[in-house]
Chains A and B, each alone.
Chain A
């Protein structure tokens, strides 16, 4: 059954438009003068000069973390590359001489493919890759510029004192 909608009949005051129009003009002119004189209600953030603070869990550009001896934490286990739904991580593994471990000879992230989902960070057992740099990947002019190498990712990286290999060691 059709639902009956109550439509109150507009009285002459409303149908004459004028009081309602004046009410509307009062609202807009109040907003105009308040913002013209004081900028009190203006919500605009003037971007390049002023930036909106991102929430702490913002996922930005990746960074590779380092150990105490400044070497890369990554052990080239390929878990991140496997977890990556966009297939944007390319790792070449090599042997480390000092420890019984591997290390990435090259570590590339293709930002044309990356969707910043954070699955690589979730998958990493060594706390080696993080998305907490708080930076955007800036746009570039060539495809090559959009593929970041191990050195670029390490440049933003910092020290991590998490136990290597997680709690299972």
Chain B
């Protein structure tokens, strides 16, 4: 019984993390380049090929992987070797761990670890990622790395607050912190026809959550910890697979943000007006899982579009936005939600 449970959990981890998340993350590194190219009227990388198979350049992630594995693994003089080794691993592991509580389909079978306080788990474990950034910058014994790490730490701490507060509104509306309960709650209908998705009842919350979580992800327009054109940032001294791990973490985080947003604000695996309790099984369950994956991919697309549209903030603008605009707005959102809930 006990080892059977472990075996099934291990299988779920393999399927979700390796097959789905890491693959999607790797493909997104290619999608990012192709998409930015198309936005800028170029073609982008389409030449990696095995034999005569080119597949629009889909083999580029594999080529990148070989390159990352065969490059020199450089450790700068004076670096703290232990932390230098640990930092990318912490960053990636804490991001991957968050997928444990995402319900990919109806019922407990499609969640790795169905926790009652799943959302708190994500916020708690997700903020571990800051250690990867801070330790990576500090351990590399490089001033630019340290500068990037400082920026990253300040930015992540600032936006963590807004991100957490925006989810409070959703918790209040649905009265639960369990992600699978949240998804079930979003299967209900408002006024008999409108799906009660998080984005319908908490539109402001969704926009603020998206902004804050993109800032958490340290990508443009919030890529100050990296700041390619000024300081290379916290991974300035990282090369080969260590750098690739940091790089992959960013893309896995895109998937994570998309997965959280899809679960909390877009009804998870719910297909509107179809089997809201998730008891049908069979073909409908497969369709529901497919629809959830589709939502994740669409939200990844949206994040990439934003990344290739907006220029980088200045650091004071970033802090102003975080503390003076987003935080009061999210607090106001909670107050309004509470008043509406109390009145109805």
Please list the residues of chain A having a beta carbon within 8 angstroms of any beta carbon in chain B: 21, 24-25, 27-29, 31-32, 35-36, 39, 41-44, 46
**Interface contact A42-B309, CB-CB below 8 Å:** no
| Beta-carbon nearest neighbor of A33 in chain B | B38
| Besides A44-B37, A46-B43, 9 new A-B residue pairs in contact (Cβ under 8 A), listed by A number | A21-B306, A24-B310, A25-B305, A28-B308, A28-B309, A32-B35, A32-B39, A35-B39, A42-B43
Given known contacts A24-B309, A32-B305, A43 and B42 CB-to-CB distance under 8 angstroms: yes
- Judge whether B316 is part of the interface by a CB distance below 8 angstroms: no
**Interface contact A31-B309, CB-CB below 8 Å:** no
- Judge whether B41 is part of the interface by a CB distance below 8 angstroms: yes
Cβ-neighbour of B41 out of A25, A29, A41, A46 (below 8 A) = A41
Given known contacts A21-B310, A32-B35, A42 and B305 CB-to-CB distance under 8 angstroms: no
**Interface contact A31-B43, CB-CB below 8 Å:** no
- Judge whether B344 is part of the interface by a CB distance below 8 angstroms: no
Q: How far is the CA of A21 from the CA of B210 in the complex (A)?
A: 14
**Interface contact B38-A31, CB-CB below 8 Å:** yes
**Interface contact A42-B41, CB-CB below 8 Å:** yes
Give a binary string over B278-313; 1 marks a CB under 8 Å from any A CB, 0 the rest. Answer: 000000000000000000000000000110111000
| Beta-carbon nearest neighbor of A45 in chain B | B43
Residues of A within 8 A of B309 (CB): 21, 24-25, 27-28
**Interface contact B310-A31, CB-CB below 8 Å:** no
**Interface contact A42-B310, CB-CB below 8 Å:** no
* Minimum CB–CB distance for A163 against chain B, Å: 50
**Interface contact B40-A31, CB-CB below 8 Å:** yes
Q: How far is the CA of A43 from the CA of B44 in the complex (A)?
A: 11
**Interface contact B310-A35, CB-CB below 8 Å:** no
Residues of A within 8 A of B38 (CB): 31-32, 35-36, 42
Q: How far is the CA of A24 from the CA of B308 in the complex (A)?
A: 10
Residues of B within 8 A of A43 (CB): 41-42
Q: How far is the CA of A41 from the CA of B40 in the complex (A)?
A: 9
* Minimum CB–CB distance for B33 against chain A, Å: 13
* Minimum CB–CB distance for A150 against chain B, Å: 39
**Interface contact A31-B35, CB-CB below 8 Å:** no
- Size of the chain B interface, CB-CB below 8 angstroms: 13
* Minimum CB–CB distance for B105 against chain A, Å: 29
**Interface contact A25-B306, CB-CB below 8 Å:** yes
**Interface contact B308-A42, CB-CB below 8 Å:** no
Residues of B within 8 A of A46 (CB): 43
Q: How far is the CA of A28 from the CA of B43 in the complex (A)?
A: 15
28 example contacts (A-B, Cβ-Cβ < 8 A) are as follows A21-B306, A21-B309, A21-B310, A24-B309, A25-B305, A25-B306, A27-B309, A28-B39, A28-B305, A28-B308, A31-B38, A31-B41, A32-B38, A32-B39, A32-B305, A35-B38, A35-B41, A39-B43, A41-B41, A42-B38, A42-B42, A42-B43, A43-B41, A43-B42, A44-B37, A44-B42, A44-B43, A46-B43
**Interface contact B305-A29, CB-CB below 8 Å:** yes
The CB with the most chain A CB atoms within 10 A, among B37, B41, B310, is that of B41
* Minimum CB–CB distance for A145 against chain B, Å: 27
Q: How far is the CA of A50 from the CA of B40 in the complex (A)?
A: 20
Which B1-47 residues have C-beta < 8 A from chain A? 35, 37-43
Q: How far is the CA of A75 from the CA of B116 in the complex (A)?
A: 95
Q: How far is the CA of A36 from the CA of B40 in the complex (A)?
A: 12
The CB with the most chain B CB atoms within 10 A, among A21, A28, A35, A46, is that of A28
* Minimum CB–CB distance for B203 against chain A, Å: 12
Residues of A within 8 A of B37 (CB): 44
Residues of A within 8 A of B310 (CB): 21, 24
Q: How far is the CA of A44 from the CA of B43 in the complex (A)?
A: 6
* Minimum CB–CB distance for A28 against chain B, Å: 4
* Minimum CB–CB distance for A33 against chain B, Å: 9
Residues of A within 8 A of B40 (CB): 31
Q: How far is the CA of A163 from the CA of B39 in the complex (A)?
A: 56
| Beta-carbon nearest neighbor of A41 in chain B | B41
